[in-house]
Structure 1
Amino acid sequence: MEKKIYPELTMDFVRVTEASALMSSLFLGCGNLEMINHSSIDAMRGMFDYIDFKGNIVMSKYAKENSNMLYVGEKVGSWQDSTSEMDLAVDAIDGVKLAAFGLPNAISAVAATVSGGIKVLPTFYSFKLAVGRELKGKLDLRKPLKENIKIACEVLGIAPTELTFVILNRQRHEEIIEEIKEAGSRIKLLSDGDITAAIATAVPDSGVDIYVGIGGTLEGILSAAALKTLDGEIQMKLWTRDRIEEQSIKEEGWDLEKIFYTDEIVGGEDVIFSATGITDGDLLKGVKFVKGFAYTHTLTMRSKSATIRKIESMHNLKNKTIRLKSLGEDKRLIDLRNEYIN
């Protein structure tokens, strides 16, 4: 893979996730999943127009048929001849239900790296395991969970009762949850939003040691982009929803037993990650509106410099504008809610 360093675009991606979070926050708690999802995507697509690069969306929740939804294969940015080409993984809202009902841990996230740097995995879901620096390289997704718990406790120098897992609260995880309970370890269950859960394993004092379970492949790739800078690790294995998908994936030549690791999932020496909180969560505070201002909190990282920034921004609502792709122009944030509905 070509190792190419491109201009400093970190703050450009911060503006993209900020805009997506701000736009979706206008519909916070509305209960309308489609409205809040479309509005955040519209803002993210619009703000990409301002970035001086050649952006290829290679991982998204949407296929090309959804031409207004940040689809796989969409080109974003200026695409000037002199600019660098980059691969993108995008999730305008990780936790659409969370945002729609005003629940914790909804974020907007983007990852970018050199062209060809993101592993385009074929399944919507993957079996994932994420850990921080101390457990990096120590656990194995293929091993029984009981064995991984034993190893983790030995490495960390703690008893199983002090080890904390975070896992999505899904019926498919009943067996995993029972194994963790039998070991005596602690469990933090999430309704949605597993990007922040995976990242939290590499954040000191987060209170979380291991993320495990079946979740979105896109979310795993975005987590990998962050964990690369945090010196954590994610392991991913393809997970098919039924026999038809399994057969299709096998015919395409994919090995369902193969484990994909962080550097293979997101390669290149210069990976950028940005996430802005929509609702309050364990990793980021959500958007707040206070007396004419909107406050956002963003976590951004660049692997080349190993720089991690937490950015609190104050947006004056008299002046704050966002570009919506559907409008093709900038509008003041405080005017967009009614206009978008209409």
Structure 2
Amino acid sequence: MGSVSNLKIDLVEVCEAAARACAPFVGSGQKDEGDGLAVDAMRSRINKVKMNGTIVIGEGAKDEAPALYDGEKVGTGEGIGVDIAVDPIEGTNLFAKDMPGSIVTLAAAPAGSMYQPGSCFYMDKQVYPKAARGKIDPEAPIADRLKQLAAALGKDVAELKIFILDKPRHHAMMKEVYAAGAKIRLATDGDVNGAIQAVLNMGSDALFGIGGTPEGIVTACAARAMGAEMFGRMAPQKDFEIELCKKEGIDTTRILTRDELITSDDCLFIATGLTSGAYVRHVKTGHDTYGKFMTTDTVVLDGGIGNIRHVQTTIHV
């Protein structure tokens, strides 16, 4: 049997191709145009990868998205079975405004190992670094969780910085975090970016809050690859979504563990920077004696090996 870990260079090139394709639209205000270019480039390159891949988390239901939709078969059809989760542009508003934290991201794991959320589009997430693994009670009040996290990291609560999306649904949570004495790093979009900061303990000590379920599955791969901690609970936000979840028997009270969201250590998380952030830089363009070039910066979290790899690639275009 092969390993998903062996596909990492090919899958890095999938993310790099998407980043190069959409990079000219960074800061243009045209997020849909950029996203379309990223999707097309990602799909073209991923179908050259020698694997029997299935998009488990993609651009949407088959009748809504023409490419990289949930259930789409990708790769050459040869080799090992692979579950794929993609977000061709994570943080589209950040991308459109050239604000920090927009990335191309992809996660991969053996076939059947990624949680399939059905019609629940939102997830309430808690993400913590490796030092906190097994030391957090996910159902405890926020103040208690912050004390547990501080003890695990050897910090005072006042030294903690929690990444939270700046959304009305989080205002009560933010008040609790502040009341407990911790700090908050706010962002308008991009909770995968915030979660990876927590996983790597680079810029944030944890992520709290409700964001997209697809992003939650991608994050779970990163957390498992690095031995970090994560919990998720399905959190439908709109009436039609609540009804769909009821019809599908989705338990919105149950907290899912990291290892329920992704059941294999043989998993990959890959992110290529579109705008600069805590752990990857933006796509750079320039000219030299050979002509125009583009340089991408990518981070790979490899659960099969348990390491972090940074890949910088320059090609002439």
Instruction: Name the residue aligned to 1:300.
Output: 300
What RMSD, in angstroms, separates the aligned Cα atoms of the two structures? Answer: 1.6
Q: CA deviation at 1:274?
A: 1.2
Instruction: Name the residue aligned to 2:16.
Output: 18
How many angstroms apart in 1 are the aligned matches of 2:178 and 2:238? 28
- 1:182 and 2:179 correspond: yes
Instruction: Name the residue aligned to 1:138.
Output: 135
SS of the residue corresponding to residue 77 of structure 2 reads coil
- 1:169 and 2:166 correspond: yes
Match of 1:283 among 279, 297, 316: 279
TM-score by length of 1: 0.87
- 1:154 and 2:151 correspond: yes
User: Is 2:224–2:265's contact at 8 Å kept on the other side of the alignment?
Assistant: no
Match of 1:202 among 199, 202, 206: 199
How many angstroms apart in 2 are the aligned matches of 1:238 and 1:18? 31
SS of the residue corresponding to residue 202 of structure 1 reads helix
Describe the superposition over 1:39-93 as per-residue Cα deviations: whole angstroms up to 9, x where unpaired.
110110111121011110011231101342311011111113xx21111111001
Correspondence list, 1:1-342, <5 A: 5=3, 8-80=6-78, 83-122=79-118, 123-204=120-201, 206-291=202-287, 292-317=292-317
How many angstroms apart in 1 are the aligned matches of 2:199 and 2:240? 36
Residues 220 and 6 of structure 1: CA distance in aligned 2, closer, same or farther (over 3 Å) = closer
Residues 34 and 243 of structure 1: CA distance in aligned 2, closer, same or farther (over 3 Å) = closer
How many angstroms apart in 1 are the aligned matches of 2:77 and 2:153? 48
User: Is 1:4–1:114's contact at 8 Å kept on the other side of the alignment?
Assistant: no
SS of the residue corresponding to residue 280 of structure 2 reads coil
Describe the superposition over 1:176-231 as per-residue Cα deviations: whole angstroms up to 9, x where unpaired.
11111111211110111111211111224x13111100001111111111111211
Q: Which amino acid aligns with 1:195?
A: V
Q: CA deviation at 1:6?
A: 5.1
Q: Which runs of 5 or more structure 1 residues have no equivalent in the other structure?
A: 318-342
How many angstroms apart in 2 are the aligned matches of 1:6 and 1:237? 27
How many angstroms apart in 1 are the aligned matches of 2:153 and 2:222? 22
SS of the residue corresponding to residue 110 of structure 1 reads strand
How many angstroms apart in 1 are the aligned matches of 2:273 and 2:192? 12
How many angstroms apart in 2 are the aligned matches of 1:25 and 1:197? 21
Instruction: Name the residue aligned to 1:325.
Output: none
Q: Which runs of 5 or more structure 2 residues have no equivalent in the other structure?
A: none
Q: Which amino acid aligns with 1:296?
A: T
Give the length in aligned residue pairs.
312
User: Is 1:111–1:271's contact at 8 Å kept on the other side of the alignment?
Assistant: yes
Q: Which amino acid aligns with 1:70?
A: L
Residues 296 and 257 of structure 1: CA distance in aligned 2, closer, same or farther (over 3 Å) = same
Aligned-residue sequence identity (percent) comes to 32
How many angstroms apart in 1 are the aligned matches of 2:72 and 2:277? 30
Describe the superposition over 1:143-181 as per-residue Cα deviations: whole angstroms up to 9, x where unpaired.
210111122223333222111111111111000111111
Detail structure 1 runs of 4+ shifted over 6 Å in the superposition.
none
How many angstroms apart in 2 are the aligned matches of 1:297 and 1:7? 19
Residues 254 and 203 of structure 1: CA distance in aligned 2, closer, same or farther (over 3 Å) = same
SS of the residue corresponding to residue 310 of structure 1 reads strand
SS of the residue corresponding to residue 25 of structure 2 reads coil
Residues 259 and 77 of structure 1: CA distance in aligned 2, closer, same or farther (over 3 Å) = same
Q: Which amino acid aligns with 1:34?
A: D
SS of the residue corresponding to residue 148 of structure 1 reads helix
